[in-house]
Amino acid sequence: MRVVIQRVKQARVLVRNEIAGEIGPGLLILLGIQDGDTDEDGRWLAEKCAALRIFEDEEGKMNLSVVELGANAGQGAVPSILVVSQFTLIASTRKGARPSFNDAARPDVAAPLYESFQRHLHAATGRPVASGRFGARMEVSLVNDGPMTLVVDSRLRE
């Protein structure tokens, strides 16, 4: 599994002009699921996302995770989390100009892993997790805070 994590001031995903998920300050997580990924990959990745210290403390240093920020009184609104499935994160651009998506997990495998990742993330953060709609064509809008954007891959475990 691979994620792109963005610290945002707000984010929203629309499906057919209807809001599927929307958050204020927090994390937008784009999730790609690859052939061979397991529930354990999702658990590890969810815990990693929850623990990343990418929010600023009172001294302006990136010392707080999404969990710590919400628990720290006086930090403002409790951060939110929005997860959007994005199989294109698994694209290979090794050959030619057209990306290959052959390594992306099939929908019948990926959909349950997407749902499981959200449950693991909720358990790791104690926060509700908003989401897009698996397999749908979505419009994602966000205000990136920083910008702060990271890529984490469960196969690399770093």
118 is catalytic: no
> Contact 124/46 with Cβ under 8 angstroms?
yes
Query: Treating both helix axes as pointing N-terminal to C-terminal, what angle do 107-125 and 39-51 enclose, rounded to 10 degrees?
Result: 40
The DSSP call for residue 34 is B
87 is catalytic: yes
User: One of 6, 34, 86, 125 is an active-site residue; which one?
Assistant: 86
d(CA 49, CA 83): 11
Burial of 124 by CB count in 10 Å (0-12 exposed, 13-18 middle, 19+ buried)? buried
88 is catalytic: yes
Q: What Cα–Cα distance (Å) separates residue 77 from each residue in 17, 27, 147? A: 27, 13, 19
User: One of 6, 34, 55, 87 is an active-site residue; which one?
Assistant: 87
> Which of 81, 73, 102, 107 has its CA nearest to residue 25?
81
Active site residues: 86-88
